[in-house]
Structure 1
Amino acid sequence: MNTQSLESDVIKNAVRGSWLSVLDSLAPELERAILKPGRHIGCPVHGGKDGFKLFRDADISGGGICNTCGAKPDGFSLLMWLRGWRFPDALMAVANVLGLSTDEHHQSPVVAQRPVFTKPKFTADDDRIKEILRTVWQESKSVHHPDAEPVRLYLQSRGLDNMIPNWPSIRFHPRMQYRDEDGKLIGKYPAILALVERDSEAITIHRTFLTPDGCKAAVDSPKKMMPTPSNKIVMGSAIRLGAPGRVLCVTEGFETALAVIEATGMVTWPLISSTLMSGFIIPSGVEKLIIWSDLDLSFAGSFAAAKLTEHANAQGVEAVTCEPKGPIPANAKSIDWLDVLNQYGPNAFSVIRSCS
């Protein structure tokens, strides 16, 4: 097959679910990150000890994040960043690894073929992960429980209403274990638990680690997802805050979703990250999707909103994107709608009328 005749969508669809193998061939310097997506390693561009990681769903998205350069939402942008390639170069290189191209005359990066990396799956590990997830959820309490004061203090410190609805997807854990990237137990902290679901199926749990007085815990990653069993797919999932109707709002972060809910009263689901936003599965019955995207220096939020809009339109769903107005402050990397709520109040969300 001639790559010149290949539609890019064919290659994109073919690589989905095989990105770890492809990155293992094209970017061997990512070997440690490939062995454990989500674990920090030294940045392949800037060096150091922990400046880069692949996303936990990297086999599907191919994406990762550099602490200096920001998020690379998919494998193509990651390879372009690492290799200085143009998009057609990255596309050709991926096609070569997948065996989709036999065009010897097309000028493309030289690809050294290496054994295909296969992500191991251990049933025993899956059983252990599922048991841990069940136990953590069973140990949790309502956010309205008297013991959940750290949650209320935290929300209040963020400028939010501290008495949020008692959604079944949001819980409080009084002593959640925090382990570092090597699995070492660092301590036990109060935590907000959020159930991550895909098509109404529980996938994993997102945690926000706190202190007893309602601050973010002083750990490397105060917001962190628990492991996901190998037979579960994170891409397409969401934290479901309420039942969707004809109109559904989505955001990246949990607290941003709370800001939208507080200002508009509309059902709003946080999608956790820009990578997961780009692959969100829109529930049946939704006719209009309002995307309250972040404005950030890396443009990851804008990119994700654009990708989600494409998916929505392909399904016949109207999509509207509302993005905060800049400029981004000099000491910040982004602006989200919680920032807008705190600075300008609920009236600033009347932008939805112009977005609509």
Structure 2
Amino acid sequence: MSYYYKAETVRQAIAGQWLFVLASLAPELEPALRKPGRHVPCPIHGGKDGFRLFKDAHETGGGVCNTCGTRHDGFELLMWLRGWSFDQCLMEVGDNLNAEKLYRKAQRIIPPAQQDRQKLPEAKTSRFSSKGELVNFGPARYEHKPENEMSYFATLQSAHGIERTIWGVDIERALTESGATCGDKVTMLNRGREAVTVVREVLDDHGELLHEESIATHRNTWEVINHSAVREHEQTETTDRLCQAQSNGGQSASRLRVVACEQPIREEETLADEEASASTTGVVPLFKETQQGPDWLHAVQTKMEQQTERRKRHDAQPGTQQLKILKVWDECLPIASEIAAPLHRYFQERKVLVRFGTLEQGDSIRFHPNLPYWEENAEGRMVEVGTFPAIVTAIRDVDGQLITLHRTYLSNHGKKAKVAECRKMMSVPEGLDLNGGAIPLAEPVEGILGLAEGLETALSAYRATGIATWSTVNAQLMKTFECPEGVHTVIIWADRDRSRTGEVAANVLKARLEANGISVIVLLPQLAIAAKAKGIDWNDVLVGQGILGFPPVRQLRSFIENRRSRSM
């Protein structure tokens, strides 16, 4: 009998047990499991120090690959290592834990005589179709040529790895309605042309906007089928059993149509199948009373639990973490200070020297001349290894309240400090939530706000366009960002990663904000990713091409205004 697991049930069962599950399902993680929080050879790419598990991996199961990026929990980590879908991963982890199973309802067979009454309506004919994985999409000038009009594109990758880019203004609507995002399997159907009136820019010989005019034309209409949104449930075992038990009246079994039945399975069937499953799988439950694993793994688990308990006791003291955050923030200096020379050199090398006075008004970026750097020693205790200059930024919630601080440790010469992790975020105080927060670098003007992951990327977009741009620090916080009041348009300067993490995060946020009536434009760098690089961002564009590598500000604002006028 077919069974499945509820994700929430498995998550509850695996609480605090990720080390044992990872050791069982991914034995190649042993070097990382022996040294959580320490860099070890990557299980995918090899090398010497390309991977590490989180310091709380026994609770989260997450880790970081220096090439592919962060895997936030054990499910993401196993999906990355094994190439599993989430459903496959859930089944493997559930079986490993011997978690509570749920059984599918019985099914009945519809005779061929009744099938005619249940035929699906005929699909519309299409003039063109393309199928593949959605790898990129967004607004851009047609064929990415500066002299062409703004349009919208979607790039699909076939099963053979061949990419094809499709252009059309209506693609934006079709993608939004389908809910598709990067990584989804889709089919794009051209449904023909319809008469429309569009606004066209009229430019002078120097490329400056003279005026706009309305013209009558035709536009292709599109439909996007999002195959990844359709979850297929396994029915093989039940179908075979029912087909054998019931006569098919001489008809071929392939013509029998199976649908869900309203009656639940009899209790004795469920119990019998559960007993059969338990007797054949040989799975040993991994709850605390019966944990299986080598002695060294138990020792690591015990050590991590003790460290977690010490941190909880420390953070439970009233106001402890808030006081630490405020102390560091109060010790910082304005970025315009002469003492902040390492910060100035760091920004200058990345070509993001913007007006410091404007940034200081936002009060979300400061400089610390000698910030202590702490690291965990071999005994699992935190020790100070030195002090370094540091860029300190404030992560604030949607109301502007300080949540925590992000630190970038530097050398005196404006390079990244030679420490294990030059970028660190202070722990979030108990009772506060990091989700939805960002580093607000300047106040939005005229309802338009830019958004980027990294600080340097946000400063690059701000310098190139003059549009206030905030940093979400990472892709996960990009997904959860809460937009401040008064903003009607968000421009996301997305990172272009080989793993497509930045694109996915940008489009997750896009779908959520647009559902709330906020217009969103996702812009990706069009530069090729270097052979040994994990990706490129808009700071790479600024360093390599200067401001000319960005969309012209006048045309970007014109596109926003035209879109707003059409939506009103």
Structure 2 residue 329 is matched with structure 1 residue 129: no
TM-score w.r.t. the length of structure 1 is 0.80
1:51 lines up with 2:51 in the alignment: yes
Indicate yes or no: 2:424 matched with 1:224.
yes
Identity of aligned residues (%): 33
Query: Residues 347 and 19 (structure 1 numbering): CA distance in 2 closer, same or farther, change over 3 Å?
Result: farther
> What displacement does 1:312 show?
1.6
CA drift of 1:67 comes to 2.2
The equivalent position to 1:143 in structure 2, one of 335, 339, 345, is 335
Task: Report deviation, 1:187.
Answer: 1.1
Structure 1 equivalent of residue 286 of structure 2: 114
Q: 1:295 aligns with which of 496, 506, 531?
A: 496
**Partner amino acid, structure 2, of 1:217:** A
Match of 1:153 in 2: 345
- Distance (Å, rounded) in 2 between the aligned partners of 1:110 and 1:187: 52
Q: 1:306 aligns with which of 492, 500, 507?
A: 507
Residues 270-292 of structure 1, C-alpha deviation per residue, up to 9 Å, x if partnerless? 11111221222223333222111
Gaps of 5+ in 2: 106-233, 238-276, 289-300, 561-568
Give CA-to-partner distance per residue, 1:121-156, whole Å, 9 cap, x none: 735325432222121111111111221122112111
2:177 alignment partner in structure 1: none
Instruction: Tell me if structure 2 keeps the 8 A contact 1:178–1:187.
Output: yes
Q: Which residue of 1 aligns with 2:374?
A: 179
Equivalence map 1:160-175=2 (5 Å):
160-161=352-353, 163-164=355-356, 165-166=359-360, 167-175=362-370
Do the aligned partners of residues 77 and 226 (structure 1) sit closer, same or farther apart at CA in structure 2, a change above 3 Å counting? same
Equivalent-residue separation in structure 1 for 2:524 and 2:316 (angstroms): 39
Change in Cα spacing, 1:310 to 1:230, as seen in structure 2 (3 Å) is same
Which residue, 18, 21, 27 being the options, matches 2:22? 27
For the pair shown, the structure with the greater C-alpha radius of gyration is: 2
Distance 1:218 1:247 in 2: 38
Q: Go from structure 1 to structure 2 and tell me whether the alpha carbon gap of 1:272 and 1:50 turns closer, same or farther (over 3 Å shift).
A: same
For 1:214, the equivalent position in structure 2 comes to 414
Opposite residue 286 of structure 2, the aligned amino acid is R
Matched AA of 2:315: D
C-alpha deviation, 1:53, in angstroms: 3.2
Tell whether 2:542 aligns with 1:341.
Answer: yes
Structure richer in strand, relative to its length: 2
Change (3 A) 1:328 1:19: farther
Q: How big is each residue's C-alpha offset from its partner over 1:282-315, in whole Å with a ceiling of 9 and x where there is no partner?
A: 2333322211111112211112112212222332
Corresponding residue pairs, total: 348
**Partner Cα distance (1:264, 1:3) in 2:** 54
Indicate if the aligned counterparts of 2:31 and 2:40 stay in contact, CA closer than 8 A: no
Change (3 A) 1:280 1:162: closer
Alpha-carbon distance between aligned partners in 2 of 1:15 and 1:281, rounded to the nearest angstrom: 29
**Secondary structure, counterpart of 1:236 in structure 2:** coil
Structure-to-structure mapping, 1:250-329, within 5 angstroms? 250-329=451-530
Structure 1 window deviating more from structure 2 (345-354 vs 270-279): it is 345-354
Question: Is the Cα contact below 8 Å between 2:498 and 2:534 reproduced in 1?
Answer: yes
Summarize deviations over 1:54-109 as a string: whole Å, max 9, x none.
3989979x753212443335654322123442232124457787978512796999
Counterpart contact for 1:194–1:207, Cα < 8 Å: yes
| 2:266 paired with 1:65 | no
Shift of 1:201: 2.8
Distance, in Å, in 2 between the alignment partners of 1:44 and 1:112 is: 29
Counterpart of 1:211, as a letter, is S
CA distance in 1 between counterparts of 2:387 and 2:13 reads: 36
Partner of 2:397: 198
Instruction: Determine the C-alpha separation between the residues in 2 that align with 1:238 and 1:129.
Output: 19
Mean CA deviation greater in 24-33 or 334-343: 24-33
TM-score (normalised: structure 2): 0.53
**Residues in 2 aligned to 1:17 and 1:134: alpha-carbon distance in whole angstroms:** 35
CA contact (8 A) 2:98 2:283 kept: no
Distance in 2 separating the partners of 1:282 and 1:98: 42
Greater shift, 80-89 or 291-300, is seen at: 80-89
Q: In 1, are the aligned partners of 2:506 and 2:522 still within 8 Å (CA)?
A: yes
- How far is 1:181 from its partner? 3.7
Native 8 Å contact 2:450 2:468 kept in 1: yes
Q: Which moved more, 1:108-117 or 1:249-258?
A: 108-117
**CA distance in structure 2 between the partners assigned to 1:347 and 1:174 by the alignment:** 35
Whole-Å separation in 1 of the counterparts to 2:285 and 2:375: 34
Counterpart amino acid of residue 227 in structure 1: S
The one-letter amino acid of 2:69's match is G
Gaps of 5+ in 1: none
Cα deviation digits, residues 156-179 of structure 1 (max 9, x gap):
121221643313111111110112
For 1:202, give the aligned amino acid: L
The aligned counterpart of 1:87 is 86
The 8 Å contact of residues 495 and 538 in structure 2, kept in 1 or not, is answered as: yes
Contact 1:65 1:71 in 2 (8 A): yes
